Amino acid sequence: MPIGEITRGTTNTNRLRRVDRWIAALPALRRAAAPLVVDLGYGASGVTAFELQRRLARVRPEVEVVGLEISPSRVSTAVAQLAAVRAGTSGSGFAPDARVGFALGGFEVPLQGGRGATVIRAFNVLRQYDEAEVAAAWHRMTGRLTPGGVLVEGTCDEIGRVSSWVALDARGPVSFTLSLRLAGLDRPSIVAERLPKVLIHRNVEGESIHSLLVALDRAWQHNAPLSVYGPRQRWVAAVGALVAEGWPVLGPAARWRLGELTLPWASVAPRGFAWS
């Protein structure tokens, strides 16, 4: 039987564009001999799996995406969508030959032939679980990765303007990323509402994620005069201010311009967290 619980299954077109863009740049995806990516818990519609395959195919045309859901009715819906896409009658614009499939499954990540996944994207799934259940789910999913594979687990708002996620490999959490739509952004700490389950209750005094969001809000406000040049310039300056304060920001400035900020997991790990 699939491992997990049936969650609300909210699905919106284009909701996961920010994390998909980040996955497309992963060395694990670009270097894999035969990349297989799992969309775990895709929800009431299979649209996010089709979108993921289309975005990743721009850098790896041969990429295969498998959508897994714990709900049999959701799998049936997605399979019907796939049939319509294959027949060219869906009106969705997805390529009839897109390498996409759907199956019943949960955190055990069942794949035909016992294959491992290059990347597992589990978004807006663990948000509906208890924090105490996160580690076991992480362990199960990372155990289904190919060597060098990556689990991307996180959450976002309903229209994809606010996102955050943790990247893990077989050794445990590696990094934390937040990604925000900069136009109209009031303060970066709005992401507190959409932190991964392991962090969402840790935005309090004494926790590293709280310190990060306080520092980021302060840097964003301090660089408000740069808004006349656009929100990207303001954001890049704010991230640069974090670097100057000693925060070990990862990645090139080109990623910052996308509204992203990535740090090593150790910089935001909850107090007492241990991977074993």
Output the tens digit of pLDDT for each of the chain's 276 residues. 899 998 888 888 999 999 999 999 999 999 999 999 999 999 999 999 999 999 999 999 999 999 999 999 999 999 999 999 999 999 889 999 999 999 999 999 999 999 999 999 999 999 989 999 999 999 999 999 999 999 999 999 999 999 999 999 999 999 999 999 999 999 999 999 999 999 999 999 999 999 999 999 999 999 999 999 999 999 999 999 999 999 999 999 999 999 999 999 999 999 999 887
Domain with 223, as residue range(s), is 188-266
158 and 219 within one domain:
no
Q: Are residues 167 and 34 in the same domain?
A: yes
Instruction: Tell me the whole-structure pTM to 2 decimals.
Output: 0.96
Please tell me whether residues 139 and 22 are part of one structural domain.
yes
Given 144, 164, 180, which residue is the final one in a domain? 180
In a domain, 274, yes or no: no
Residue 31: inside a domain, yes or no?
yes
**How many domains is the chain built from?**
2
- Indicate if 130 and 244 belong to the same structural domain: no
Structural tokens at position 218: 């302060």
Residues 99, 234 within the same domain: no
Residue 129, domain member (yes or no): yes
Nearest Cα neighbor of 24 from 264, 255, 265, 256 is 255
